[in-house]
């Protein structure tokens, strides 16, 4: 982990974004079809808050669990929410294809040292945000439900399921 605060993350790395249930594209059976543009809408004049997965060691599943634990200190997750996994390079290239240059930078904060930001995301440009959201495939939408259940199991002192 040679990246310092404020530096761009490597193109091969990944970040995850907490997307609440109401901002997911779903079919009429509530199956997830993707992330809507407003799931990636930053607050005005702010970067989009994400967590850097390669900040953590281990397999991808371990990175996600570790990132989820860090994010939990700042965010209130619900079972219907997802962690949307985004490849840094894919995200940058999608932005460039529509003439915009974004930066994905390491931006640690108190209580969440794996925090990162996607900067220069125009908060009111639905079309652009939709292009970025379209890079997130259904398989990239990681359900928060098992992560919450695992956390509850561990907090209760029970042994977690082997496959968790």
Partner 1 sequence: MTFALAVKDWSSSPLEFNAPLLSRMGVPTTHTAGALASIYNENRHHVRSNGDTDQETNVTSIFERQSLAAKLYAAKQSAKQYASVFGSRISQEWRKNLFWQLDELLSEEEWDEDNAILDLESWKSFLTGMFVIRPAKRPGIGITENGNVVASWGNVSEHLDMEFRPGNEARWVLSAIVDAQFERSAESGSVLRLLERLAPYSPERWFGC
Q: Does 20 bind partner 1 (CB under 8 A)?
A: yes
Long-range contacts of 149-152 (CB under 8 A, 24+ apart): 150/65, 151/68, 151/69, 151/72
- Which one of residues 1, 6, 11, 22 is an interface residue with partner 1 (CB under 8 A)? 22
Q: Provide the 3-class DSSP secondary structure of residue 134.
A: coil
Q: Which two tokens stand for residue 124?
A: 């009111």
Q: Which two tokens stand for residue 17?
A: 């974004």
Q: Does 25 bind partner 1 (CB under 8 A)?
A: yes
Q: Does 78 bind partner 1 (CB under 8 A)?
A: yes
The footprint of partner 1 on residues 97-116 (CB under 8 A) is: none
Q: Which two tokens stand for residue 21?
A: 């249930």
- Which one of residues 9, 13, 15, 36 is an interface residue with partner 1 (CB under 8 A)? 36
Residues 24 and 146: their CA atoms lie apart, in Å, by 18
Q: Which is nearer to partner 1, 110 or 124 (CB)?
A: 124
- Which one of residues 1, 11, 33, 46 is an interface residue with partner 1 (CB under 8 A)? 33
Q: Does 30 bind partner 1 (CB under 8 A)?
A: yes
- Which one of residues 131, 132, 142, 147 is an interface residue with partner 1 (CB under 8 A)? 131
Q: Does 138 bind partner 1 (CB under 8 A)?
A: yes
Q: Which is nearer to partner 1, 95 or 105 (CB)?
A: 95
Residue found by looking up tokens 């993350």 in the block: 9
Q: Report how many residues bind partner 1 under the rule CB under 8 A.
A: 30
In our burial notation (b when 16+ CB lie closer than 10 A, e otherwise), range 37-64 reads: bebbbbeeeebbbbbbbbbbeeeeeebb
- Which one of residues 28, 110, 159, 163 is an interface residue with partner 1 (CB under 8 A)? 28
Q: Provide the 3-class DSSP secondary structure of residue 89.
A: helix
Q: Which is nearer to partner 1, 127 or 157 (CB)?
A: 127
């Amino acid at each position: 982990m040679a990246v310092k605060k404020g530096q761009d993350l490597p193109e091969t790395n990944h970040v995850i974004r907490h997307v609440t249930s109401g901002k997911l594209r779903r079919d009429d059976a509530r199956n997830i079809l993707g992330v809507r543009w407003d799931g990636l809408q930053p607050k005005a004049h702010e970067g989009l808050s994400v967590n850097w997965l390669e900040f953590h060691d281990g397999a991808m599943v371990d990175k996600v669990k570790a990132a989820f634990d860090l994010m939990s200190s700042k965010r209130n997750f619900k079972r219907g929410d997802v962690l949307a996994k985004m490849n840094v390079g894919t995200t940058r290239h999608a932005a460039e294809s529509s003439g915009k240059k974004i930066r994905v930078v390491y931006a640690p904060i108190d209580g969440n040292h794996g925090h990162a930001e996607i900067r220069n995301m125009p908060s009111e440009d639905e079309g652009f945000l939709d292009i970025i959201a379209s890079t997130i495939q259904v398989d990239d939408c990681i359900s928060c439900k098992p992560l919450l259940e695992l956390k509850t199991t561990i907090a209760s002192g029970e042994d977690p399921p082997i496959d968790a």
